Structure 1
Amino acid sequence: MTLGSCAKNKDVDPSITNIAVTNPDFQTLEDAAIRGDVAVTLGNKNPNDPQGNYTVFAPTNSAFARLGLNSAQDLTALQLPFLRNTLFYHVFSGTLPGSALTIGSASAGAFRTPAIAATPTTPAVPSVTPTRRIIRRADGSLYVNGSKILSTDVKAANGLIHPIDKVLLATGADVLNSALALQSGSVFVKPELTFLVEAVVYCNLQGALTGTPGSPSLTVFAPTDQAFKNLGTILGVSLNQPADIRKLPVATVTAVLLNHVVLGGAQGGKFTSELPENTTIAAAGGPVIIGAFNNGVLTVKGTSNAAPANMVIPDVQCTNGVVHVIDRVLLP
């Protein structure tokens, strides 16, 4: 990606914002920065860095498209405070060159508070500043969390840009509160994971998803609302609204839910770039089959599933683990 050529004056590097504005690969990022009111910030020197620099992990248009965000209008599907925090999570205050992106290294995003905004029915979720980590796969490809770093060290007048292939997502809250935020419409304007939250409450499993000091890091596969509705069709039970989950025996729902949670161990708190492909891992409710790593995602399959689940929204970083939203309920 030859981004340096975007400067109108070849003797002066453009700012990070100018690069986004003049390069078509960053059109959606530009739209997001304008809507999130961070374009001006990234167009100027960083007042908190002696050199005046920022480093930005910059999602391409294709990265936003993975989330169904293809235009400025599409971005209105996200609540504005969450969009702002998401953008700032891509920003490092200072210079973070490609040479510093080594295996296991970590850096904090310029996260703001509250992490998730309040709604008329739910309070704001306090923010804990999440930390990005650098991962190198066996083929040598470099990732920040679950996002592939496409190139490094694109120079700007006020810092550096590292283009990436997926939007970095972090909630600043634990898995439970992150799910509650989605359920209440505090992340996407349209509520999501409403069936999952109902099922967790029905089975009294809230404590398993709450981050407490010393608790294990979780990898959670979170089925969408449509996934639960489809499950109802398979079981011959009408699951049209979240409360319908209670038509099923609590023991059955509990067994199913536990099949979606990896509690610590070697595979707890893992991004897609870290999960072992083409193998079986142990969830709390039984074995889960992980498929091939392809274009930054993996399929996931429960023992009794006829077909695997796809990752709809992978790599959502929470304070006590990582959530991968999937399109099918995993059956033990």
Structure 2
Amino acid sequence: MKYAGLVLAVASTAFGQSLIEVLGGRPELSQLTGLLNSSGLAGDLSSLTNNTLLAPNNAAIGAFLNSSTGAAVATDSALVQAILQYHVLQGNYSTVNATAFIPTLLVPPQYTNVTTGQVVQANATGSNVTFFSGLSSNSSVVNASIPFSGGTIHIINRFLTVPQNISTTGVALNLTSAVGAIGQLNLTQAVDYTPDLTVFLPNNAAFQRIGGNLANLTVEQLAGIFAYHIVNGTVLYSTDIQNGTSVETTGGNVTLTLQGSNVFVNNARVIRPNVLVANGVVHVIDRVLNPANTTATPNASTTEEAFPGATSASNEPFTSGVPTPTSAVPTTSAAGGSSSSSGGAWRPIETGAIGMVALFGGAAVVMNI
């Protein structure tokens, strides 16, 4: 899976009108202008250069403020400011012609644990440009490339969703077996708040296919398997993947393979790439990885597991006590996001990252089951 570059057009000369002047001349952006003024961001953004504003139109802001989520955050000025910062891209992207992951001005540690700033995914299909945000929400550009003195404005039809922690995102995507396993291992805090993670999360069916053996594992054995799904210190988006790349996880190396439009992690196929989370990115896979079988290879035409002799379970493992998903976020997508949801729990994340050594106690036991 290869992606062409993103066209980055940096204005060589400043356009005459400031951001607020341009917004003031656009009736469809009057509510955004009011939010920027009331949050205190208007002056700050007007003084910036080389930035791109993804500007929700009045309909998008009205839909957000009329939702239960919007009503809950409307009185929190710091959170409103953070949400608006997430709509400002670092760089003047006047044209988007491919897939890219662009850092935003959302950098405060209480809202993101991505070192370079939380990103949005830009996706171009022909003349249509879509930005994907947290919980795989999408926002389409309805009016593009409006210049102002500090950069470019793209008007979008839906508020961006600030990425949430892995547990919240996992429940929303019905990855409840993975979320339950994390909880049983007492790793929720570490997984949710350690900065700069890439996590390969198996879907529920993947756990169920080997569920007959999972009940016999010790906590140490299960922790060793889960460690093999986490890349610590690197946020690896699909655009970073090259065929045959070996990636070091906290439980050993995995091999990333490209076969046509499919991406594999060892023998597990990525069925939903690039789910943005507060501390990095999640790629949903259709198999549980086995740290004792690092040579497992992809085969799109077989259901062979990385665990020889594993048997299935009648129910989805580890889901007892895990909240039932309440949103209709799809669990598969070739494009990296297709949901039109703009919901989600918009809230600060906890600070004080927990190291990955503490996460696994410095030891990960791996074995066949």
TM-score range relative to shorter protein: 0.3 to 0.5
Q: Structure 2 length normalisation: TM-score?
A: 0.44
Larger radius of gyration: 2
